[in-house]
Amino acid sequence: MKHWMIILIFFLYAGFIQAQELNCTIKINSDQIQGTNKSVFNTLEKSLSEFVNNRKWTEMTFANSERIECTMNIIVKKYEDDVVTAEIQVQSRRPIFNTSYYSTLFNFKDNDFTFNYKEFDQLEMNENSLTSNLTAVIAYYAYIIIGYDMDSYSRLGGTPFFQAAERIVNAAQGANLGKGWIAFDSTRNRYALINNLLDEAFKKYRNYFYEYHRLGLDEMSTNSVNAIDRISEGLPSLREANRARPSAIVISSFLDAKNDELINIFSKATTKEKADALEILSDVNPTQISRYETILK
């Protein structure tokens, strides 16, 4: 009996130290495709889930309970001659200490996602020699998700993973993998996002990203007044970054993830904090002024 207990403990321990980083739900919506055998997308969905969740993306040790919660929703627009034209929506979240609440860290829609795929193709990737736009895009977002998560727990902690995403961008450009990777082709593509994240102009914003989560949200259950103060104090960094790089995708992406959360937080703030938040958020994202005005109610 003791022998079997030792074996059980060993396997439980091995599972603990070898847990992968991501717990990602991947869904493929092919409703817009008519007259196509949908099994190809069911197979792809399963293969992508295994590719993302079974791969070890870093050298870090994760417990199963620490795996990063994320989703990748792929909407197929066209499928002809084994070429898939799609868009992908990527989101990630992380738990807030001492609560059952999860805060969205990343929310990004990528409209330039075209790749070759035949049913039962093996999903493989060599980061030094990219040949598949499918696995390149998915790997890029895996590193982005990990980077955002690490940035929320330590100052600039996501830098090594953002650099890994940048290497994929550079390799994809060299391999001519198509749209989404090209500099200045769009202000909202994969190149623009990683360029923002590693730009010195956004260093203060990334520090605020840490303060917002670790010193703000994570402290909310202990002292909500101090937590809101910390979130309020750093809010001007959003405006500074936006003025340094107008319409920057990294700032609009932050607000896409945080608008509802910010409104909820500042609805409980002091009168001055409410007014300051409304002014800053309206300046950074004027299309959402009517939503931000609910902070004052």
Same domain, 82 and 140: yes
The two three-digit tokens of residue 269, written as one number:
């703030």
Same domain, 110 and 48: yes
Same domain, 103 and 219: no
Q: According to DSSP H, which parts of 198-288 are helical?
A: 203-210, 224-234, 236-244, 249-266, 271-284
Same domain, 46 and 163: yes
Mean pLDDT of the 4-12 span: 39
- Whats the size of the chain, residue-wise? 297
Q: How many Å apart are CA 216 and CA 229, to the nearest integer? A: 8
Residue 10 lies in a domain: no
pLDDT, tens digit (0-9, with 9 covering 90-100), for 261-292: 999 999 999 999 999 999 999 999 999 999 99
Same domain, 235 and 175: no
pLDDT, tens digit (0-9, with 9 covering 90-100), for 33-92: 987 678 999 999 999 999 999 999 999 988 999 999 999 999 999 999 999 999 999 999
SS3 content of the chain, % helix, strand, coil (to 5): 55, 15, 30
Residue 3 has pLDDT above 70, yes or no: no
Same domain, 123 and 173: yes
Same domain, 140 and 34: yes
Residue 102 lies in a domain: yes
Same domain, 50 and 134: yes
Same domain, 129 and 218: no
Q: How many Å apart are CA 153 and CA 214, to the nearest integer? A: 6
pLDDT, tens digit (0-9, with 9 covering 90-100), for 214-237: 999 999 999 999 999 999 999 999
β-partners of residue 72 are 26, 90
Helix (H, G, I), strand (E, B) or coil at 22: strand
Same domain, 44 and 171: yes
Q: How many domains does the chain have?
A: 2
Q: How many Å apart are CA 159 and CA 147, to the nearest integer? A: 7
Same domain, 74 and 170: yes
Q: How many Å apart are CA 198 and CA 206, to the nearest integer? A: 10
Q: Which amino acid belongs to residue 184?
A: F
Q: pTM for the complete prediction?
A: 0.93
Centre a 10 Å sphere on the Cβ of residue 108 and count the other Cβ atoms it contains: 22
Residue 249 lies in a domain: yes
Task: Determine the structural domain holding residue 194 and report its residue range.
Answer: 26-59+70-198
DSSP state for residue 96 in the 8-state scheme? P
Same domain, 183 and 91: yes
Question: Of the residues 154, 179, 198, which one is the last residue of a structural domain?
Answer: 198
Q: Establish how many alpha carbons lie within 13 A of residue 150's alpha carbon, considering only the half-sphere containing its beta carbon.
A: 20
